[in-house]
């Protein structure tokens, strides 16, 4: 025996420190396992998934780690693995309260059924809202109707007052003229037909003489109440200046009303109020003649003097009061 030879000692086999658990055996290296494997009865039933995909062969490298090589060999043995659904239970549907039907679908938006008391309360609230709205509308309509009735009543009263005044005027015209007024066409020409002048401010009237025409008058109550008349003798074709109230506002004869307590003489001037012609209702009425001629023409002055005399007679003889 050679002295250089070493005695034989068996070497430990190279194995991976962390072998891959449940590694599928290579059917090429172990023909005995190429057939269908026998399932271990200790393994629980699992989902069986046939592996028809291209298989991979495994070999060990020099470090003992498996190396996968695509060889195109199909594994005929199924892959058995436990499923996580085995130990789970189906969720239990909670029982519905007594008297209420169970919902057909969990999580569905089905409105809960109302009890009879809740239905009555809901109906009462709805009716209260409806009746409240109707009451508010009724109040508004009532106020509007009241305001409208007040306005209509005021307009009706004003119309009745105007109608009453118009009726009194018609009656007065009929009384003075003797006409029967039934329409606008039957209203007489008051200035042409009537022969009386009414002074409503004093409640007195004057009867016009037949020989005086184009009579006008002005009521002046700024200082002492006074009425001045203008006119001319009938038969004159052209209106003279003294008979025009716009040119001669002082007129051709005036009447002054003075309280009886003041007497017949003005205490401030010492002059007489005029010729007293009438007394009525605590007032004296005095006639006042013009202070001079208005006309500058001699012929017209004669006509003016005639008109002054006619007006004086009318004031002195034809004055009276009326109610």
Residues 296 and 241: their CA atoms lie apart, in Å, by 10
In a domain, 95, yes or no: no
Greater confidence (54 vs 186) lies with 186
Domain of 253 in residue numbering reads as: 195-321
In a domain, 155, yes or no: no
Tell me which of 59, 82, 105 is where a domain ends: 82
In a domain, 146, yes or no: no
The three-class DSSP label of residue 50 is coil
In a domain, 54, yes or no: yes
Tell me which of 82, 99, 126 is where a domain ends: 82
Query: What helix, strand, coil percent values describe the chain, rounded to 5?
Result: 30, 20, 50
Please say whether the beta carbons of 80 and 46 come within 8 A. Answer: yes
The pLDDT > 90 percentage for the chain reads 25
User: What burial class does residue 76 get, using C-beta atoms within 10 Å of its C-beta: 0-12 exposed, 13-18 middle, 19+ buried?
Assistant: middle
> Taking 60 as the threshold, does the pLDDT of residue 286 lie above it?
yes
Greater confidence (114 vs 213) lies with 213
In a domain, 248, yes or no: yes
Residues 196 and 124: their CA atoms lie apart, in Å, by 81
Question: Of the ranges 45-54, 84-93, 156-165, 186-195, which one carries the lowest mean pLDDT score?
Answer: 45-54
Tell me which of 29, 63, 82 is where a domain ends: 82
Q: Could you tell me the pTM of the whole model?
A: 0.42
Going by pLDDT thresholds of 50, 70 and 90, the confidence category of residue 311 is very high
- Strands 196-199 and 204-207, by their bridges, are antiparallel
Going by pLDDT thresholds of 50, 70 and 90, the confidence category of residue 301 is very high
How many domains does the chain contain in total? 2
Average pLDDT for 11-24:
48
In a domain, 134, yes or no: no
pLDDT for the residue 22: 47
Q: Is the dihedral of CA 305, 306, 308, 312 positive or negative?
A: positive
Average pLDDT for 158-176:
80
pLDDT for the residue 7: 47
In a domain, 282, yes or no: yes
pLDDT (tens digit, 9 = 90+) per residue, 249-270?
Answer: 889 999 999 999 999 999 988 8
The three-class DSSP label of residue 45 is coil
The pLDDT > 70 percentage for the chain reads 61
CB atoms within 10 A of CB 206: 22
In a domain, 101, yes or no: no
Greater confidence (175 vs 99) lies with 175
């Amino acid at each position: 025996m050679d002295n250089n030879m070493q005695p034989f000692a068996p070497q430990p086999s190279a194995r991976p420190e962390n072998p891959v658990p449940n590694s599928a055996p290579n059917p090429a290296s172990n023909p005995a396992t190429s057939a269908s494997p026998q399932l271990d009865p200790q393994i629980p039933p699992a989902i069986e998934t046939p592996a028809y995909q291209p298989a991979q062969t495994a070999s060990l490298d020099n470090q003992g780690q498996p190396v996968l090589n695509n060889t195109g060999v199909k594994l005929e043995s199924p892959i058995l693995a436990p499923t996580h659904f085995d130990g789970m239970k189906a969720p239990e549907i909670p029982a519905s309260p007594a008297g209420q039907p169970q919902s057909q679908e969990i999580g569905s938006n089905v409105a809960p059924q109302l009890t009879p008391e809740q239905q009555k309360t809901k109906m009462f609230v709805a009716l209260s809202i409806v009746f409240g709205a109707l009451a508010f509308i009724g109040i508004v309509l009532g106020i509007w109707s009241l305001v409208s009735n007040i306005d209509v009543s005021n307009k009706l009263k004003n119309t009745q007052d105007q109608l009453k005044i118009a009726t009194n005027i018609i009656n007065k015209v009929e009384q003075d003229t003797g006409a029967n007024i039934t329409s606008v066409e039957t209203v007489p020409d008051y200035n042409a037909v009537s022969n009386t002048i009414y002074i409503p401010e004093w409640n007195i009237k004057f009867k016009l003489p037949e020989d005086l025409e184009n009579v006008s008058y002005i009521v002046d109550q700024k200082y002492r109440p006074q009425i001045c008349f203008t006119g001319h003798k009938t038969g004159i074709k052209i209106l003279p200046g003294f008979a025009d109230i716009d040119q001669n506002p002082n007129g051709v004869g005036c009447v002054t009303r003075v309280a009886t307590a003041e007497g017949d003489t003005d205490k401030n001037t010492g002059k007489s109020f005029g010729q007293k012609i009438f007394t009525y209702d605590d007032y004296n009425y005095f006639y006042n003649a013009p202070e001079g001629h208005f006309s500058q023409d001699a012929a017209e002055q004669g006509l003016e003097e005639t008109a002054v005399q006619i007006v004086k007679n009318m004031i002195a003889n034809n004055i009276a009061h009326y109610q």
